[in-house]
Amino acid sequence: MRVDKLLTSVGAASRSEAAKAAARGEIKVNNVTLRRSDVHVDPERDEIIYKGEKIVYKEFVYIMLNKPDGYVSATDDPQEKTVLDLLPEKYKRLGLFPCGRLDKNTLGLIILTNDGTGAHRVLAPKNHVPKTYRFECECKLEDKDIEMLANGITLDDGYVTKDAVIKTDDGAKSGDITITEGKYHQIKRMFAAVNNRITYLERVSFGDIALDGSLERGEWRELTQQEEKLFK
* Catalytic residue IDs: 103
- Quick check: helix, strand or coil at residue 46? coil
Task: Tell me the CA distances in angstroms from 56 to 19, 25, 94, 123, 201, one per residue in order.
Answer: 19, 19, 14, 28, 37
123 strand-pairing partners: none
**Cα dihedral across residues 47, 48, 52, 56: positive or negative:** negative
Burial class of residue 135 in the structure, from the number of CB atoms within 10 Å of its CB (0-12 exposed, 13-18 middle, 19+ buried):
buried
In three-state secondary structure terms, 128 is: coil
